[in-house]
Amino acid sequence: MRIPYQQYWALRRLNRSLCRSDPHLAAMLAIFARLTVGEAIASREQPGPSASRMRRGLARLGRAMVAVAACLSACARQVVRAVSRACAAVRRGHSGSARTAMSIPPSAGNPGDAER
């Protein structure tokens, strides 16, 4: 497995500082590394290909967009129902019912009503 240059040197610095601070632990880790050198890395520890991560991210984004669209659709449906009830009340000539349907307080009338 190849690692980037900066990570390689960071690991070397960590190794040197570990050898200085705790030589026994450094020796135990070196033995462990020699024993496991031929073993395969567990699949959950290996980084997946970037394409699969991108697909997972796009799938999450798609699910989020579907959820947002469903919420917007539900809200729009409620608004359309309220407006259609208000329009029906106005057509029937019940302005008080229209104000109630649109959640307008009864004291708020037309701007011309205050001048009369």
- Upper half-sphere CA count for residue 86 (Cβ side, 13 Å): 13
Rounded CA separation 85/63 (Å)? 33
Contact 106, 99 (CB under 8 A): yes
Residues in contact with 90: Cβ distance below 8 Å, sequence separation at least 6, in sequence order: 98
CA angle at residue 40 from 24 to 38, to 5 degrees?
60
Identify the helix (H) or strand (E) that includes residue 77.
helix 50-92
Per-residue pLDDT at 97 exceeds 80: no
Query: What angle do the packed helices 5-21 and 23-35 form, to 10 degrees?
Result: 130
Q: What is the pLDDT of residues 25-35, one digit of tens each?
A: 888 888 988 88
When pLDDT is cut at 50, 70 and 90, the band that residue 116 belongs to is very low
Band of pLDDT at residue 105, cut at 50, 70 and 90 = low
Position with higher pLDDT, 110 vs 58: 58
41-90 pLDDT tens trace: 776 666 666 777 788 888 899 899 988 888 888 888 888 888 888 787 77
More confident residue, 20 or 88: 20
The full set of domain ranges for the chain reads: 1-35, 63-105
Alpha-carbon distance 116 to 111, whole Å? 10
pTM exceeds 0.75:
no
Contacts of 1 (CB under 8 A, 6+ apart): 41
